[in-house]
Amino acid sequence: MLSFCKPVSSKKRFKPFREINADFSFSLFDKASLVDKNEWQSITHQQSIFLEIDFLQLLEQCESTLLLSRYIIVYENKVPCGIIYFQIIDFKAEVFGSILVDKVENIKSTRLNLFEKYLDTHKNETILRLFTCGNNLVSGEYGFLFLPQIKKQKQSELVVQVIDVIGKEEKLSGAISAILIKDFETQLQPKTLFDNQKYTQFLVEPNLVVDVPDGIKSIDEYLLLFSKKYRNRAKSILKKGSIITQKYLEANDIKNLQNEMYVLYENIYERAKFKLIKLPKHYFFETKKIFPQHFLVKGFFLNNTLVAFSSSFFLSNTVLEAHYIGLNYELNVEYELYQNILYSMIDCAIVNKKQQVNLGRTAAEIKTTVGAKAQDLICYIKPQNTISKIIQKPFISFLQPSEWIARNPFKEE
């Protein structure tokens, strides 16, 4: 049985080396600037950009919703052995009202129908504080990381123990709130630990991943692997986009185009299925300054006017990670801006000898037409009171994969 650490007063919660058990302790920080970088990097070894303090500090400046961060360093006998990252986001009622409009008709619940009416009349009221172990802005396992000597089962136990105490200190139990642990390619172990703690496991929209075949040296060679139907389709897309000038942007370019880029980014944000967090206007410029070699921003210009942009990261020697994009929807169909962005990312990966392109969750069917395959991601959610239990079913339903048809552009072997 787990021995959970007890919550402490707010005055003591930032005391270092708070005891978990006889061997393990943790320290809590509410600002990236307060975290001991050396201790943090002794765990990350600067191998994961999305867990780097400089990147996480940028996220503290996000707009449109209240985003708070919590940083945990876990110690074994007072030596750093792991880190845990939390995001805390407050949602207004109108966000969940739009979810329930789509989902409530299929759920026979008097309480849910009453709650929907409540949401409609309290649109500007904050009703949910989502406590996430992980990063809501990117897909992947960015909630915690431990040194290899800490076994997987022990990692899970430590994470659950810390979530329990920090969650209570954030007064989650007294609000309409939920704990979310995201995104995992395989189930966390032991399964019984999460079952006993009343976590519900569910799948979210999959990550779409392109594996670059060995020996491919250009986008033309890549397209030769397609069947005639999809190769012709790709050529047509690239031809439509041939009038568009593509250019990688340096930090000064991004600064000069900041306003135009933000308008294009907002076009994407406003059409998002779930408007979670809005990036600050200077996000792309600041990220390029911090990671000049690893963060790529490409501008797409029509007659010297920016009509689209893409951003991506070199996450490792083998992986290109697609990040945020922006585009002019009025020109999208005529010039196939979105799909040209996808092909440009694959081309970038090939040129830079990467083996994999992570294209993210959205537009799954379109991404499979360029060669991506779906990679399931598992999340865990735990409601904190009766009302959040009412929300849970439609909320999970909303986050789960929608129906789509996977395409296979490659020649049949």
Estimate to the nearest angstrom the gap between the alpha carbon of 268 and the chain centroid: 16
The first and second tokens of residue 115, run together, are 């709650």
Pick from 13, 19, 409: nearest CA to 226:
409
**Angle made by CA atoms 31, 34, 11, in degrees to the nearest 5:** 80
Q: DSSP class of residue 226?
A: B
Q: DSSP class of residue 55?
A: H
Residue labelled with tokens 């990117």: 138
Q: To the nearest whole percent, how much of the chain has pLDDT over 90?
A: 67
Prior bond to 190 cis, omega within 30?
A: yes
Average pLDDT estimate for 116-130: 60
> Can you name the CATH fold of 18-205+377-399?
Aminopeptidase (3.40.630)
Return the number of other C-beta atoms located less than 10 Å from residue 372's C-beta: 27
pLDDT for res 124:
57
Half-sphere exposure (Cβ direction) of 252: Cα atoms closer than 13 Å: 0
Beta strands in 159-225 (DSSP E): 177-184, 200-211
- In tens, the pLDDT along 176-222 reads 578 999 999 999 999 999 999 999 999 988 999 999 999 999 999 99
pLDDT for res 407:
94
- In tens, the pLDDT along 91-102 reads 765 655 555 555
- In tens, the pLDDT along 377-398 reads 999 999 876 666 766 776 777 6
- In tens, the pLDDT along 162-179 reads 999 988 888 655 565 789
pLDDT for res 260:
98
pTM recorded for the entire structure = 0.88
The first and second tokens of residue 9, run together, are 């007063």
pLDDT for res 4:
46
pLDDT for res 102:
53
pLDDT for res 7:
47
Torsion angles phi and psi, residue 109, rounded to 5: -145, 115
What are the extents of the domains in the chain?
A: 18-205+377-399, 213-354
How far from 359 is each of 299, 311, 339, CA to CA, in Å? 18, 11, 12
The SS3 assignment for 248 reads strand
pLDDT for res 96:
57
The first and second tokens of residue 42, run together, are 């002794």
Residue labelled with tokens 């397209």: 223
Residue bearing the bigger pLDDT, 206 or 65? 206
Return d(Cα 195, Cα 389) in angstroms, integer: 16
Does domain 213-354 bear CATH number 3.90.1150.10?
A: no
pLDDT for res 348:
97
Return d(Cα 293, Cα 360) in angstroms, integer: 21
**Exposure pattern of 329-342 as b/e (b: 16+ CB <10 Å)?**
eebbeebbbbbbbb
The pLDDT of residue 244 is above 50: yes
Average pLDDT over the chain, rounded to an integer:
87
Return d(Cα 30, Cα 46) in angstroms, integer: 21
Q: DSSP class of residue 33?
A: G
**Angle made by CA atoms 372, 375, 377, in degrees to the nearest 5:** 145
Tell me if 98 sits within 8 A of 392, measured CB to CB.
no
Q: What is the length of the chain?
A: 413
pLDDT for res 118:
52
The pLDDT of residue 79 is above 80: yes
Residue bearing the bigger pLDDT, 153 or 172? 153
- In tens, the pLDDT along 224-236 reads 999 999 999 999 9
- In tens, the pLDDT along 264-284 reads 999 999 887 766 778 889 999
- In tens, the pLDDT along 326-347 reads 999 999 999 999 999 999 999 9
Query: Do strands 200-211 and 144-146 pair parallel, antiparallel, or not at all (unpaired)?
Result: unpaired
- Which region holds residue 229: left if phi is over 0, alpha if psi is between -120 and 50, else beta? alpha
